[in-house]
Amino acid sequence: MRLLPPILVLILLVAMIVLRFAAPDPVVVSYPYNLAGMVLAAAGLLVTLAGARPFGHVGTNIRTFNEPGALVTDWLFRRTRNPMYLGFVLLLAGAVLLGTATPFLAVALFAITADRWYTAFEERALERKFGEDYAAYRRGTRRWI
């Protein structure tokens, strides 16, 4: 079984909340500054949803481990090859809302997993399927931002 990114994000969100209460110190962002986490989380959710939208428009697969059907290079994909993963990282970075240091472990874990596992897998699949078209897109567009 392969763990899909949104499922990992949900697991990590729960883990972040548990960590907040299991290890309430040190507080690194106090009230009211921690409320900035709501802005980060909302921005992350918007970026993730906006990144997913073009997949529906072209009728291609969005699931990480399935065969890609089309090479999406417009909208947010002109600036980053992975807007949905970037959005998930921002959503998790909303951990600022929790105020303590321990939830940030989940943010780092997801960012590393997305970079080393999910995107690496997807990039190999895209290279196999789209060859030089993907290689040219990859050369002209950053992985993250």
Which of the four pLDDT bands, split at 50, 70 and 90, describes residue 74? Answer: very high
For residue 108, is it within any domain?
A: yes
Work out the pLDDT band at 57, boundaries 50, 70, 90: very high
Q: Is residue 145 part of a domain?
A: no
142: tokens are 């950053």
Return d(Cα 16, Cα 104) in angstroms, integer. Answer: 8
- What residues pair up with 100 in beta bridges, in sequence order? 27
Model pLDDT, residue 25: 85
How many domains does the chain divide into? 1
Tokens 């969100």 found at: 13
Q: What is the pLDDT of residue 103?
A: 87
Question: Within 13 A of 144's CA, how many CA atoms are on the CB side?
Answer: 10
Task: Give a yes or no: residue 57 inside a domain.
Answer: yes
b or e along 10-34 (b: 16 or more beta carbons within 10 Å of the residue's beta carbon)? eebbebbeebbeeeeeeeebeeeeb
Q: Domain span at residue 104? A: 5-140
Tokens representing 126? 């895209």
- Asked whether 122 and 64 are in contact (CB, 8 A), the reply is yes
**The pTM is what?**
0.94
83-140 residue pLDDT tens = 999 999 999 999 888 999 888 899 999 999 999 999 999 999 999 999 999 999 999 9
pLDDT of res. 118: 97
Q: Which helix (H) or strand (E) holds 48?
A: helix 36-58
Whether 118 maps to a domain, the answer reads: yes
| Average pLDDT in the chain | 94
Is residue 9 situated within a structural domain? yes
Phi/psi of residue 109, nearest 5 degrees? -60, -45
In a domain, 98, yes or no: yes
